[in-house]
Amino acid sequence: MASKASPSPSASRSGSLKDASMAKADESAPVSKEIVSVIESLKRHVVDERCVSIKERMDNNRHKLASITSHLQKLSKERRNSWINFADSSLDLLKKRQDDAIGMHSGIGTSSSDKDSDSDQEDSHASTAVLLGTSIPPGKNSVRPIRLPEVKKLPPYTTWIFLDRNQRMTEDQSVVGRRRIYYAQNDGEALICSDSEEENVDEEEEKKYFLESEDYIIRMAIKEAGFSDAVINSLAECFSRKADEVKARYESLTKEEKTSVDSLNVDSEASSLNCFLEKDLEAALDSFDNLFCRRCLVFDCRLHGCSQDLVFPAEKPPPLNRPDLDNLPCGEHCYRSVSKPEKVATDDSPELGDTKDNSVQPSSGSAGTRTSVRKKHTPCARKKAKPSQSESASSIVKNMSDSSDSEIEPQHTASTSHLSPSKTKLGGNGGVSQRNSKRVAERVLSCSKKRQKVVGSDSDSVASGSVLGGDGKLSSSPHKENEDANSSSQKHAKSRSRKRELSIQNLQGEARDGISSGMVTDPPGNNSDVTLRKDDCADGNSCEMALNDNLSWKAFEKSLFEKGVEIFGRNSCLIARNLLNGLKTCVEVFQFMTQGDKRLAYQAGDAANSLGDGYSKFEHQGNNEVRRRSKFLRRRGRVRRLKYSWKSTAYHSIRKRISERKDQPCRQYNPCGCQTACGKECPCHLNGTCCEKYCGCGDGSLGVPNQRGDNYECRNMKLLLRQQRRVLLGKSDVSGWGAFLKNSVVKNEYLGEYTGELISHREADKRGKIYDRENSSFLFNLNDQAGWFVLDAYRKGDKLKFANHSPDPNCYAKVIMVAGDHRVGIFAKERINSGEELFYDYRYEPDRAPAWARKPEATGSKKEEPSHPSGRAKKLA
Amino acid sequence: MARIPLGCEPVIGSLVPSKKRDYRVTNRLQEGKRPLYAVVFNFIDSRYFNVFATVGGNRVTVYQCLEGGVIAVLQSYVDEDCCGLDGISEALLEFSICFVDQKDESFYTVTWACNRDGSPFVVAGGINGIIRVIDAGHEKIDKSFVGHGDSVNEIRTQPLKPSLVVSASKDESVRLWNVHTGVCILIFAGAGGHRNEVLSVDFHPSDMYRIASCGMDNTVKIWSMKEFWPSVEKSFTWTDLPSKFPTKYVQFPVFIASVHSNYVDCNRWLGDFVLSKSVDNEIVLWEPRTKDQSPGEGTVDILQKYPVPECDIWFIKFSCDFHYNAAAIGNREGKIFVWELQTSPPSLIARLSHAQSKSPIRQTAMSFDGSTILSCCEDGTIWRWDAVSSSSSSSSSQV
C-alpha cells in the first residue's frame, strides 16, 4: 500500500525498519542484546530474501516480456511489408511526407535557414534547424492544417446500466465511509479533499494474520534464543503486536509443525467424490429456498435479497399431466414397451382375473382383483379429497392419502389402459410438498399409530389374499431374466400378495374413516435397507435384485424421484424425462417405483404383524431426525428468516415489506372489491397501492386483466404488468438529456417506472453530497411510508431518469405499493402528444432545491450551474 | 494505509543516477499556447517508428524525428469548433442550445492505430468525449466515435490487433472500439466499474483479453474480455451501421487493486506486472494475484517503487520504450526521470533538466530504442532529448 504517512518513498523504506529498531534500542535495554541482534539478523535475512525473490521474479518477467516485444516487433515489420505489397499503388501521404522531410533535411543539412515562425527559435542549445512545413506548398513554412469537421457533442452523462426493476444497493456500491477526492475544475490541479465531516476511514483492519515472514522470525528467533518472555517481548515489539499474540502464534506454530507431518498422509485420501450426484437433494433445494425469490421468480433477486420468508400456499397445483401421451411409450426405454412382451407371455391372466376369484392362483388374477377393489373405493377417495382442500391441515393429510392411492395406479395402466380416467384424477392430488409433510410429521405420526392398529387388524383378515404375479411381471426389468422372474414369483407369491392386499386394505380403511396413513411420507430410499433386511430374504432373486437396484440409485436420484412423484404423479415417463434425464431410463424409474411400493407394503405388513406401532414410530423418528438436522443447517449462518406455521394459508395476508428486518409490522393489504375498472374511488388507488391478484377488478390471474372494452380495463395494474409507454431518450430542449414520449397519451395514463438502486437515507445523504458537486441528482425519495429507502438512478436506472424538472410539468410521479414493494410510477398529468418532452416536478424540499430548480423557468443547463446547494436535493413524489 | 508488513517490502530505487546513458536537449518547439497533453511514438508500424503525434487544444500534429535533433512537421489537424459562434448574439444562442454545450475541443490523448489494410491511423480524444479517428495515410478524418458521455482521458491501442483501441473516460466507463469498422464493442462499466473518472487504461502486451484501467476512484481494475471475445471477433466483420452493433457491458472486473490512496492517473502493464502511479511522487510496480475461484478478489504484491520527486499533481503520464527497458516521466517542474524498469533494484538512468524547462510535463514519449525522449509541457512546448553517452549513432531513431 502506498503509505500516506511517508511522503518520500526513500524515507519510508528506511523509516519502517529504523523506527522499529530505534524503538527497540530504547526499550530493550534490559533485554539482552543478544536477542535483539538475533532478531535483527533474522529480519535482515527476511528482507534480503525478499529482494532476491523480487529480483528473480523481475528476471522471469523480463524474459517473458522480451519474447513478447520481439514478437510485437516482428508484427510491426510485417505490417510495413504487407502495406508495401498491398498498397504501393495507393497513396500513403504519411509516407510521402516522411520521405519529403528526409529529402529536405538532407538537402538543407544543418543550415538553419528554414525556420518556422510558429516555433520560437530562441533555443540556442540546438544547433540544428527545426524543419517544419515540409512539402505541400514548399517555400511556406507551416503545414496547412487539415480541418476535422465538427461533430455534435453528446450532453454529458455518466455511463449507466439499464434496470427494468429496482435493485437493492449491494454493499460494494456504498459510498459511506469512503474518502472521495475532488478537483476543482476551475483551479485545474488543486486537490480538494472531501468533506471534513466525512467519518474517518476505519483504520482498524488489525493485522490479524501472521505473515510467513513473521512466522519464520518467530520460529527462528525462539530456536536460537530460546523460549522466554524477553524473546517474546522483543518479538512483539518488532512486529508491533501484543506479546500474548506472539506467544499464541508460536504455540500454534509448534502444533502445526507436529500435525503437518501427519496431515501429509491424510491429505491424499480426501476429496475425490464431489460429483453433484453425491449431494443431497435437500442441499440443492436449500440453495433454491434461499436464493430463489418467490416474488420475482428469479434467482439472486437484487431487490428482495436472499433468505426470504417462505410461504407455502395451501393450494397445491395438481401434478402435471399429459393425458394425450399417457398411452404412448415415451422412448425406447419406456416401461410400456418393455413390459409388453411380458404381458403377452402372461396373456391369459386378465381373463382369469375377471373371475374375481379369491383363491390362490399362482399365475393370474392380480390385475383383476385389484382393479375391482380399486374401482370400488376410488370414488369415495375422490369425493373425500375434494372438499378437504379448504382446510389445509386435513387436506395435506388427504393429499398424502391420495398419493398413496396413486401409487398403485401405474401398474394398472400398464396392464389395463381403461383405468386411465381415474388415474388422471387421482394422480392429480398426489403431489405433497415435502415441506408440508415435515410440518405435519407429528400429526402424521400420531395418526399413523392409530392407523397401524387398523392395518394390523385388517391385514390379518386378508392375509390369505389371492393376488400374485402382477408385481413380478411388472417389476421385471430387461436385465432380469425371465426365468428368474418365473421361478421367484412362485416362491414369493404368498408374501407378495399379502402385501398388496395390505395396501389395498389400507386404502379402503382410509377412505372409510379418513385417517391418513403415515407410511406414504417415508421416502423409499430411507427405509429400504431396514425393511429389506427385515424381510428375511425369502423372496430370493428378485428381492436381491431389488436391493441391488436400490443401491445403484444415488441419494440424489432418489430424492429427485420423490420430487418427480410430487410433480408428475406416478408417471415414470415424465419423471425420467424431466428429472432424471441421462441418469435413469423410464424402465429403471418404473422399476424403482414399483419396488418402492413393494417395500412400503412389506413395511406395512411387517409393522402390523411383527413390530406393530413401535416399528413405524422408529421409521418416523428417523425421518424427522434427518429433516430436523438439515433444517437446522439451513437456518444457521443465514440471515434472519421468519418461520410460518403450516397453518398460514393465503400468502397476501402475511406479506412483509422489505423493511421487515426492523420488525415493523406491515399494514395489511386489502384487495379492492371493484367489479369493473378501478376508477378514482378504488380503495387501492386511494391507498397508493396497485390492484392485484385478489382484487375484484382482475379475473384472479396475474395476467392482463380482462379487457372487455376500454372501460373494463383496470388501469391501476399497469405498473404491476409493466405496460409502459415507449419513452425515447434525446437531447432536451431545456438542458442536457431529456425523455420524450413516442406515442401520445391521455391524462393519467401510466408512462413508465422510475427505477434505480434502493439506498438508505444515510447512503443517500452521502451520495447527495457527491451529486451536488456534479449538479445532477437522480435521488428520489420514496415517501415516508416507504420509510427506509431512497431511489437512486445515477448509475442504474431507466430512461425516465432523464426527464427534466419543470415547475409546470406534464407528468407527475407517484409512489405506489406494488406487490409489497414501493415503486415510482410516472403518469401523464395531461394529454401529451407524441414526441413531446416529459417533465415532472421534482418537488424538491423548498430550501433544498438546487438553484436551477428554483428559477421560474429552467433555462440554463443544470450542469453548468455554478453554485452548489448546501442541502441534499431529493426528488419527492 | 497500514504499515508495510515485514517480508513484503518493495524494493525502492535510488535517486542517484547511474549515468548509464545521458541525454541532451537537441530541440525544442513551441506548438501553440495551449497545453500539450499527450505525445506518442508510432510503435505499430516499423516504417513510422520515428513518427510521433502530439495533441493539445483543438490540434493534432504529426511530426517526424530526423537526425541531428531535427523535428519535421508532417501533418496537422484542427478540430472545427464553435469559435465561429462568437459573433452570434445571446438571443440566437437560446434557440440553438445544442451549441451551448459545445466547448472548444481540447484533446487529452492520442494513440496510433491502423485499420486492417495497415493504413496508419491517429486516434485522439478529449474534453468533448468524441474520439477522432484520423487516417494519416490519406490525411482525412476517417471516423468519429460518439458515445462517451464525457471527456476522454486516455486512448490506447492493442499491440497485437492494432485496429482495437480502448478509451478511458470521465463518464466512468472504459470502452473498446474497432477503428476498422467503427463499432463500440464493449463497455467496461456498471456494478463493478469505476466510481469516478477513469484516467488511464492499457492493454496487456500478450494476453489479448486483459486490460487494466485506473482512475479517480483510487483503484486499478483489471478486466477480462474473454467471455466477450466472440463480440470482438464479430466487430471485425461488421458491415451494418456501427450503431446497430450489439455493444455489451462488462460489469465486473476480474481484479480490483487498491494500491494507491489518491487518484491513479497512469497505469501500464509490464509483462504480467502493473506499473501505476498516483500523486505520491512515485511509480509503483506490483503484481496482481487473482484468485480464479472468486473473481474481483485477490492480493497485490508491491514489488518495486520508482521515486519521482515533485510529481504530486495528477494527469502526468509516463511512457516506456518498445521493449519496456526504461520509462520516462516528467514532473511538475519540467524535469524528466528516466528509470531502468526491469532491474532490481531499479536504477535511475538519468535525471534530465534544463534551465528553461520549468513547466509541468504532462507526458513523455520514448522512441523505439529509448534513445530519444520527447516531452510535452503545459506551456505548449515540445522538448527533444537525445541520448549521447554510449554512441552517437544511436541518437538517431530512424529505423
CA distances from B189 to A4, A777, A796, B170, B179 (A): 29, 20, 11, 12, 21
Percentage of the residues of chain A whose pLDDT score is greater than 90: 3
Q: Which residue of B has its CA nearest to A1?
A: B259
Average pLDDT over residues A642-653: 28
pLDDT category of residue A308 using cuts at 50, 70 and 90: low
Q: Which of B390, B321, B35, B386 is nearest to A128 (CA)?
A: B386
Q: How many CB atoms lie under 10 A from the CB of residue A276?
A: 9
Cβ of A50 within 8 Å of Cβ of B67? The answer is no
Q: Is A823 helix (H, G, I), strand (E, B) or coil?
A: strand
Q: Return the top range by mean pLDDT from A214-228, A322-336, A527-541, B77-91.
A: A214-228
The DSSP secondary-structure symbol of B178 reads E
* pLDDT per residue as tens digits for the range A806-863: 888 898 888 888 877 788 888 898 999 999 999 988 776 655 555 555 444 333 333 3
Q: What is the pLDDT of residue A535?
A: 42
Cβ of B4 within 8 Å of Cβ of A12? The answer is yes
Distance, CA of A685 to CA of A719 (rounded, Å): 12
Contacts of B25 in chain A (CB under 8 A): 123, 125-126
Q: How many CB atoms lie under 10 A from the CB of residue A448?
A: 25
Cβ of B150 within 8 Å of Cβ of A173? The answer is no
Shortest distance between the Cα of A283 and any Cα of chain B, in A, equals 21
- pTM for the predicted model, two decimal places: 0.67
Contacts of B97 in chain A (CB under 8 A): 733, 735, 861
Q: What is the pLDDT of residue A404?
A: 42
Cβ of B9 within 8 Å of Cβ of A16? The answer is yes
* pLDDT per residue as tens digits for the range B2-55: 456 667 788 888 888 888 889 999 988 888 888 999 999 999 988 899 999 999
Q: Is B157 helix (H, G, I), strand (E, B) or coil?
A: strand
Q: Is the pLDDT of residue A429 over 90?
A: no
Q: Which residue of A has its CA nearest to B142?
A: A148
Q: How many CB atoms lie under 10 A from the CB of residue A519?
A: 24
Average pLDDT over residues A162-169: 83
Q: Which of B234, A72, B174, B77 is nearest to B165 (CA)?
A: B174
Q: What is the pLDDT of residue A133?
A: 38
Distance, CA of B312 to CA of A603 (rounded, Å): 83
Q: Based on the number of CB atoms within 10 Å of its own CB, is B353 exposed (0-12), middle (13-18) or buried (19 or more)?
A: middle
Q: Is A293 helix (H, G, I), strand (E, B) or coil?
A: strand
Q: Is B399 on the interface with A (CB under 8 A)?
A: no
Cell 524477553, residue?
Answer: A230
Average pLDDT over residues B363-384: 93
Q: What is the pLDDT of residue A465?
A: 38
CB A598 within 8 A of CB A475: yes
Contacts of B259 in chain A (CB under 8 A): 1-2
Cβ of B7 within 8 Å of Cβ of A211? The answer is yes
Lowest mean pLDDT among A333-347, A566-580, B29-43: A333-347
Q: Is B108 helix (H, G, I), strand (E, B) or coil?
A: strand
Shortest distance between the Cα of B101 and any Cα of chain A, in A, equals 7
Q: How many CB atoms lie under 10 A from the CB of residue A36?
A: 21
Q: Which residue has the higher pLDDT, A310 or A57?
A: A57
Q: Which residue of B has its CA nearest to A175?
A: B195
Omega prior to A138 cis, within 30 of 0: no
Q: Estimate to the nearest angstrom the gap between the alpha carbon of A221 and the chain centroid.
A: 50
How many contacts, defined by CB atoms under 8 Å, are there between A and B?
351
CB B134 within 8 A of CB B140: yes
φ, ψ dihedrals at A149, nearest 5°: -60, 150
Lowest mean pLDDT among A26-30, A238-242, B335-339, B375-379: A26-30
Q: Which residue has the higher pLDDT, A416 or B20?
A: B20
CB A783 within 8 A of CB A818: no
Shortest distance between the Cα of A170 and any Cα of chain B, in A, equals 9
Contacts of A236 in chain B (CB under 8 A): none
Cβ of A159 within 8 Å of Cβ of B282? The answer is no
Cβ of A65 within 8 Å of Cβ of B324? The answer is yes
Q: Estimate to the nearest angstrom the gap between the alpha carbon of A267 and the chain centroid.
A: 32
Q: Is A612 helix (H, G, I), strand (E, B) or coil?
A: coil
* pLDDT per residue as tens digits for the range A655-678: 323 333 334 445 567 777 777 667
The DSSP secondary-structure symbol of B317 reads B
* pLDDT per residue as tens digits for the range A497-531: 444 444 444 444 444 444 333 344 344 444 444 44
Q: Which residue has the higher pLDDT, A779 or A602?
A: A779
- In sequence order, the 6+-apart residues with CB closer than 8 A to the CB of B121 are B112, B113, B114, B115, B133, B134, B135, B136, B142, B179
Distance, CA of B282 to CA of B14 (rounded, Å): 12
Distance, CA of A569 to CA of B262 (rounded, Å): 64
End-to-end CA gap in chain A: 45
Q: Which of A356, A405, A400 is nearest to A380 (CA)?
A: A405
Contacts of A175 in chain B (CB under 8 A): 195
* pLDDT per residue as tens digits for the range B224-239: 999 999 999 999 999 9
Cβ of A153 within 8 Å of Cβ of B129? The answer is yes
Contacts of A9 in chain B (CB under 8 A): 12, 280-282, 305, 307
Q: Which residue has the higher pLDDT, A178 or A566?
A: A566
Lowest mean pLDDT among A180-189, A362-371, B175-184, B333-342: A362-371
Distance, CA of A699 to CA of A707 (rounded, Å): 10
The DSSP secondary-structure symbol of A308 reads P
B78 vs A125, A147, A152: nearest CB: A147
Average pLDDT of the residues of chain B: 86
Q: Which residue has the higher pLDDT, A593 or A612?
A: A593
Average pLDDT over residues A187-192: 48
Shortest distance between the Cα of A641 and any Cα of chain B, in A, equals 27
CB A346 within 8 A of CB A353: no
Distance, CA of B338 to CA of A338 (rounded, Å): 82
Q: Which of B351, B356, B304 is nearest to B330 (CA)?
A: B351
Q: Which residue of B has its CA nearest to A731?
A: B98
Contacts of B26 in chain A (CB under 8 A): 126, 128
The set of cell numbers assigned to A319 is 401434478
Q: Which residue of A has its CA nearest to B323?
A: A69
The set of cell numbers assigned to B134 is 484520423
Q: What is the pLDDT of residue A631?
A: 36
Distance, CA of B361 to CA of B364 (rounded, Å): 7
Sort residue A484 into left (φ over 0), alpha (ψ -120 to 50) or beta: alpha
Cβ of B345 within 8 Å of Cβ of A212? The answer is no
* pLDDT per residue as tens digits for the range B42-71: 999 888 999 999 999 889 999 999 888 888
Q: What is the pLDDT of residue B375?
A: 94
CB B119 within 8 A of CB B138: yes
Distance, CA of A633 to CA of A699 (rounded, Å): 41
Q: Is B333 on the interface with A (CB under 8 A)?
A: no
Q: Is the pLDDT of residue B245 over 80?
A: yes
Q: Which residue has the higher pLDDT, B392 or A787?
A: A787
A4 vs B1, B66, B138: nearest CB: B1
pLDDT category of residue A720 using cuts at 50, 70 and 90: confident
Interface confidence (ipTM) of the complex: 0.88
Q: Is B5 on the interface with A (CB under 8 A)?
A: yes
CB A752 within 8 A of CB A800: yes
Contacts of A735 in chain B (CB under 8 A): 97
Distance, CA of A482 to CA of B189 (rounded, Å): 67
Q: What is the pLDDT of residue A660?
A: 35
Q: Which of A302, A305, A174, A307 is nearest to A755 (CA)?
A: A302
The set of cell numbers assigned to A861 is 443547463
Average pLDDT over residues A385-402: 41
- In sequence order, the 6+-apart residues with CB closer than 8 A to the CB of A670 are A683
Cβ of B25 within 8 Å of Cβ of A735? The answer is no
Cβ of B303 within 8 Å of Cβ of A58? The answer is yes
* pLDDT per residue as tens digits for the range B128-145: 999 999 998 888 899 999
Contacts of B206 in chain A (CB under 8 A): 64, 68, 71
Q: What is the pLDDT of residue A22?
A: 46
B66 vs A65, A76, A102: nearest CB: A102
The set of cell numbers assigned to A563 is 420430487
Q: Is the pLDDT of residue A147 over 80?
A: yes
The set of cell numbers assigned to A500 is 398388496
One-letter amino acid of B398: Q
Q: Which residue of A has its CA nearest to B332?
A: A189
pLDDT category of residue A457 using cuts at 50, 70 and 90: very low
Contacts of B152 in chain A (CB under 8 A): none
Average pLDDT over residues A594-611: 59
Q: Classify the C-alpha dihedral B71-B76-B81-B83 as positive or negative.
A: positive
Average pLDDT of the residues of chain A: 60
Cell 396373456, residue?
Answer: A347
Distance, CA of B115 to CA of A83 (rounded, Å): 11
One-letter amino acid of B44: I
Q: Which residue of A has its CA nearest to B53?
A: A94
Q: Pairing state of beta strands A146-148 and B372-377?
A: unpaired
Q: Is the pLDDT of residue B346 over 50?
A: yes
Q: What is the pLDDT of residue B163?
A: 93
Q: Which residue has the higher pLDDT, A473 or B262?
A: B262
B149 vs A75, A118, A154: nearest CB: A154
Q: Is B81 on the interface with A (CB under 8 A)?
A: yes
Contacts of B64 in chain A (CB under 8 A): 97-98, 101
Shortest distance between the Cα of A659 and any Cα of chain B, in A, equals 23
* pLDDT per residue as tens digits for the range B190-220: 888 998 899 999 999 999 999 999 999 889 9
Cβ of A76 within 8 Å of Cβ of B43? The answer is yes
* Strand-pair partners of B269: B274
Shortest distance between the Cα of B32 and any Cα of chain A, in A, equals 8
Q: What is the pLDDT of residue B389?
A: 62
The DSSP secondary-structure symbol of A837 reads B
Rg (CA), chain B: 21
Contacts of B160 in chain A (CB under 8 A): 72, 75
Q: Which residue has the higher pLDDT, B191 or A532?
A: B191
Contacts of B7 in chain A (CB under 8 A): 46-47, 49-50, 211-214, 216
